Each structure stands twice: as structure tokens, then as C-alpha cells.
Amino acid sequence: MLKQRIITAIVMLVVLTLLLFSANEAIWMLAVVVMTALAAWEWAGLVPTLPRDRRQYAAITAVLAALCCWPAWDVGLLQVAKSGGGFTALWSIMLIGAVAFWCLISPLWFRVRWVVTARSEGALLGWLLLLPSAFSLGLLRTNDPWILIAMMAVIWIADIAAYFSGRAFGKHKLAPSISPGKTLEGAIGAVIAVTLYGIGLWQFNTTQQTMSLPVLLLGLLLITLLSIAGDLFESLMKRQRGVKDSSQLLPGHGGILDRIDSLTATLPVYGLWYLYQLST
């Protein structure tokens, strides 16, 4: 299993690198649309009211994802954002809605343990999770692939630090009824590691030209907490459905959602911040 997991991780890293730095915008957008459609197919398997419509839901989501991604490269997002066009307001509303869900609604969701029972609720919730992320992937990569890499690195660093600090020091369960393997010590380790990463970014890159160090660190703290929330939310959905993984599309890793759960909670924040940067 470990060998299979490592091989799959290497393949995913190579594919991501090629898409980020070698593929043109159209191929990148196509990859984002395909990934979003596959994630939607998995999401439909986690929502009890959607399984019989899994392929149909994935197809509809692919169309919506394409509509979300298209303006980020074909219309010329930089010019549109600077002009304050209607598209910019629409994108902002979509991103703000996603950020509001993760910051305000998801903590209550963990407490109440809502179960999605209506088909329309399941469909809309899936789109709220996936479409803002698809748009953000298009926005960030089209304008600067290195920004996307730097932002995704926050999630990777947080995951790795949480894993090792949790194994070394973990005694207090973070959410035992949702994800028994996660510990408070692991979360603290993730925050510390991301903080050190943020200091390095501010010190050795041009981040200090756009924000102060305290603001950067507060933003990274929010991102780290949201990444944990995204992971826990998918774990809750899987536990309610009674499955271990969202699918078996990625050998050794489970499904697409198992790999992007933290990104669905953090990418909208990145997208909203970067859209604001473009418009100022």
C-alpha cells in the first residue's frame, strides 16, 4: 500500500508540474474541468440523494466549471478585473459565498452534524464546494503559476507537519467522532510549520511589498484552520455515508476529493484575495 501510495503521489506531482509550467491555458482549464467533474461524481456518491444521478451531476458540473474557468483566460481577467466589470462582481459573490460557508457555516455544521437529505441541497452544496475552487485554480495559474504553487504549498506543509507532530506528540483528539486520527497537537504543529513558511516567504520574496508580516501570518493562520475544516468536512460526509474513501480513482490515496478536500476550503480565499489584488 505504501509503495502504491508513493508511486501515485509521484505521478500526481509530475502531472501537476507539467500542467502548471508546460501546458497552455486551454489544457490547464481542461484539466481543471475534468478534475472538477470527477470530484463531482465522487460527491454524488457521498450524498444519499444523488447516487443515481452521479454521471448526470458530473456532466452538469463539468459545464458549470468550464463556464467558471473560461473568463480567467479567454476574456483577459486582468483587464476585466481592473475595469470593475460585471463579471468581476459575479466572481466575487461566488467566492464570498464559499468563504462565508467555510468560516461561518461549517463550524456550526460540525456541531449539529447536519445530514443532506434533499437532492437540490446536495447538488447546490457540491457546487458551492467545487466551482469557486475551479475558478480560483484558473485565476491563479493563468496570472502566475508560482503564486498557485506557493499557496498550495501551505496545504502540503500543514498536512505533513500535522501528520508528524500528531504521531510524535498527539494525545488530545481534535474531532474524535469525525476523524479519530487527527489531534490537537497535530493542528498546532501545522500552525507552527505554516508560520515559519510564512516568515520565509515574507523575508525572501516580494510578499512584504503587498502586506505586513502580521497580516500575512494572520492570513496563513486562517488558511491553515480552513484547510483543517475542509479535511474534517469531507471526513464527516464519508462517515455519514459509511465509506472510507470518496472513490478509488487514485490508487493508495482514495479519490479526488480525498486529495483536494483542504483546497476546496482554502482556494476561494486565495481567489478572493487575488481578485482584489488585480482590481487595485
pLDDT of residue 249: 83
pLDDT tens, 209-233? 567 888 889 999 999 999 999 999 9
How much is the average pLDDT of 69-96?
Answer: 63
Percent of the chain past pLDDT 90, that is, above it, reads 42
Beta pairing, strands 173-175 & 179-183:
antiparallel
pLDDT of residue 33: 94
Residue 92 to residues 76, 81, 173, 267, Cα–Cα distance (Å)? 16, 10, 36, 13
The three state secondary structure string of 30-69 is HHHHHHHHHHHHHHHHHCCCCHHHHHHHHHHHHHHHHHHH
Using alpha carbons only, give the angle 221, 262, 210 rounded to the nearest 5 degrees: 40
pLDDT of residue 75: 46
Q: Which residue has the higher pLDDT, 61 or 9?
A: 61
Using alpha carbons only, give the angle 94, 97, 103 rounded to the nearest 5 degrees: 140
How much is the average pLDDT of 31-60?
Answer: 88
Q: Which residue has the higher pLDDT, 171 or 253?
A: 171
* Global confidence as pTM: 0.89
* Domain ranges, ordered by start, for the chain: 2-279
pLDDT of residue 211: 74
